[in-house]
Amino acid sequence: MPVLLPERPSDTDSATVRTVRPPSLRAFGVAAVLLVWFAASVWSIIELRINIATFADSIGNAANFVSRIFPLDFPPLGEILAMTGQTLAIVTCATALSVVLSFGVSLAAARNTSPGTPWRWAARAVIVVTRAIPEIVLAILFLRMFGLGGLAGILALGIHSIGMVGKMYADAIEDTDAGPRDALRSAGATWWQQISGAVVPQAMPAFVATALHRFDINLRASVILGYVGVTGIGMELSLAMRTLDYSRGMALALFVVLLCIAVELVSGAVRSSLLGEQGSGSRRPWWRRIGRSSWVTEGPRRTGARRDANGQFRVTPPWTPQRIRTTVYGGLAVVALVASIWASGIDFSRTVDGLATTGPTLALFFPPGTGGIWSELLAQLVVTVQIALAATLLGLILAVPVGILAARNVSPSPAVAKGFRIFIVTVRGIPDLIIAIIFIVITGLGATAGALALSVGAVGLLSKLIADSLEETDVRVQHAVAAGGATRSQTFVAATLRQSAPALVAHLFYQLDVNVRAATLLGVVGAGGIGFYLMNAARVMQFDVVTTIVLMVFAVVMTIEAVAMWLRRAMS
């Protein structure tokens, strides 16, 4: 029976009541889903033998590994600069390709710009499919078409990135204000004039932020593509590890880590400079903040537009410091892209020949086949899911305190929050592949190494998402609870944590989704799961088996996505 509780009288002194209803079936459903996830995760940890005894048995391997990597054997400076330049060139070209392709896809996928429902569904299908196909599978396909070199890596990373970039761009376009576009439409503007004059200027900050973030991701992904023949640092790292040259391999791994951290710091600084983000105790989601940046919405008052001698407003905006900075960044981006195309070493004559083999090459992947090992593939798919579940739970246990201490509105002091933010950036800068290689050497080949490696990576991503979600809560609710005499911990549980709970659950299942995909890729280096069979099938040219494995992983990912979508609706 509903219980009626009195509320504080309103300004008109009229009595108001609110209804407190018992938990609904949806609440029980959410609790049941979370309980099943937790039980499955604990079962996975037990099955994978992630325990103290395993770590104790690995102490000797760890000591032996450390003795074999020192002194680190760094390549000559000229050689390492050449590898770095080629890797950055491939990543830059791939990111630019994904931005160009994603722009058209996002216009068709967004509700407010799509030409029609069929176009929108087709664009959404492209986003889902490109996100589902691992970049390493695309690299195998393009390497067969175009041979060794940078082009296969560019196409693999660029096409796979559409899955993320296209979705983020579509969301940013849907979040734009309809007012400016309606004004242009009423003035007789065409569809493209409305897009270029009203939608793109509002969404541009989100476009820039997403592109820079995807660049960071592509840089880490480029390392694993070296294991299938894409040139750059990843290929040199794979050669060193295959020959058991740990001193050279770990030297390259350390360099990759430092490079990833440096790139993430630089891209973060560029994002902040372009978007003018400022920390605060209460923040709206980033996709809404950047969509409302002052340089987009403030108009003449902000841009400094003024009347000329005839009393008319200047059409060309003045060269404010912000416009100069934006122009410089744009010019540097164009120069970097041109230099990257040159440095990536694309053989355009071979490209034409490769395109002619597109049909026969794709035919090798269809129809899907099992190679006579269907039962083994199912068993390894279960292992892959176990790796993802175990890594997500272990990562969550470590990420919760780190995320709480990194949130500015919860952390004991700004210095503590800043310190933990630096820690998060450092952890996120380490590619999962490098962590997996270390655990493989210490614990041996198998799923245990993969789960431990992904748990470390989960700490970096989950702790950042947790901190951002806590910072985006309404501080007025926290102040109200604190004003009633609640302690700091009571305020956190009753106000901050309660507001962010739906977002935290969404982040949890997003991390599980990420871990399933990553567990598939780490199997390439012997970290257990179905990825090992994926790589073997590619090596013996059983491409129909490759297709079957991709479809199996796709089915698991779509199931997780469906559960996550239901949870978001149930908790909203």
Give domain status of residue 115, yes or no. yes
Give domain status of residue 165, yes or no. yes
Strand (E) positions, 434-514?
none
Q: Residues 6 or more apart from 566 whose CB is under 8 A from it?
A: 33
Q: What are the pLDDT tens digits along the chain (572 aa)?
A: 444 444 444 444 444 444 445 556 777 888 898 899 999 999 999 998 888 877 777 787 778 878 888 888 888 988 889 889 999 999 999 999 999 999 999 999 988 888 778 888 999 889 988 888 888 888 888 888 887 778 889 999 999 999 889 988 998 898 888 888 888 888 888 888 888 888 888 888 888 888 888 998 898 888 888 888 788 888 888 888 888 888 888 898 889 888 888 888 887 777 666 655 443 444 444 334 333 333 333 333 344 445 555 655 455 566 777 778 778 877 888 888 888 888 877 777 777 777 878 888 888 888 888 888 899 999 999 999 999 999 999 999 999 889 888 888 778 888 888 888 888 888 887 888 888 888 888 887 788 888 998 999 889 888 888 888 887 776 777 777 777 777 767 777 777 777 777 778 888 888 898 889 888 888 777 777 888 888 888 888 888 999 999 999 889 988 988 888 888 777 76
d(C-alpha 361, C-alpha 342), whole Å: 27
313 phi and psi, to 5 degrees? -70, 140
Q: Give the up-direction half-sphere exposure of residue 481: CA atoms within 13 A in the CB hemisphere.
A: 18
Q: Which residues of 479-505 are buried (b: 16+ CB within 10 A; e: fewer)?
A: eebbeeebeeeebbebbbbebbebbbb
Is the separation of the CB atoms in 473 and 282 below 8 Å?
yes
Look up the domain containing 144 and give its range. Answer: 81-278+334-358
Residue 367: cis peptide before it, omega within 30 degrees of 0: yes
Domain shared by 350 and 460, yes or no: no
Domain shared by 272 and 389, yes or no: no
Q: What Rg, from alpha-carbon coordinates, does the chain have?
A: 26
Domain shared by 111 and 166, yes or no: yes
Quick one: which H or E segment has residue 34?
A: helix 25-47
Q: What is the pTM of this model?
A: 0.79
Domain shared by 30 and 123, yes or no: no
Angle ∠(489,493,495) on CA atoms, nearest 5: 110
Amino acid at residue number 411: S
d(C-alpha 523, C-alpha 534), whole Å: 8
Handedness of CA 85, 87, 90, 93 (dihedral sign): negative
Domain shared by 169 and 133, yes or no: yes
Domain shared by 152 and 195, yes or no: yes
Domain shared by 343 and 386, yes or no: no
Give domain status of residue 435, yes or no. yes
Domain shared by 496 and 461, yes or no: yes
Q: DSSP secondary-structure letter at 313?
A: B
Give domain status of residue 442, yes or no. yes
d(C-alpha 338, C-alpha 93), whole Å: 9
- The domain tally of the chain equals 2
Handedness of CA 137, 138, 139, 140 (dihedral sign): positive
Q: Residues 6 or more apart from 520 whose CB is under 8 A from it?
A: 134, 384, 529, 530, 531, 534, 549, 553
Handedness of CA 35, 40, 43, 45 (dihedral sign): negative
Handedness of CA 336, 342, 347, 348 (dihedral sign): positive
If phi over 0 gives left and psi between -120 and 50 gives alpha, with beta otherwise, what is residue 188?
Answer: left
Give domain status of residue 151, yes or no. yes
Taking residue 440's Cβ as centre, other Cβ atoms within 10 Å add up to 23
Domain shared by 217 and 85, yes or no: yes
What is the DSSP annotation of 383-440? Answer: HHHHHHHHHHHHHHHHHHHHHHHH-TTTSSSHHHHHHHHHHHHHHHTS-HHHHHHHHH
d(C-alpha 390, C-alpha 392), whole Å: 5
**CATH number for 172:** 1.10.3720.10
Domain shared by 457 and 536, yes or no: yes
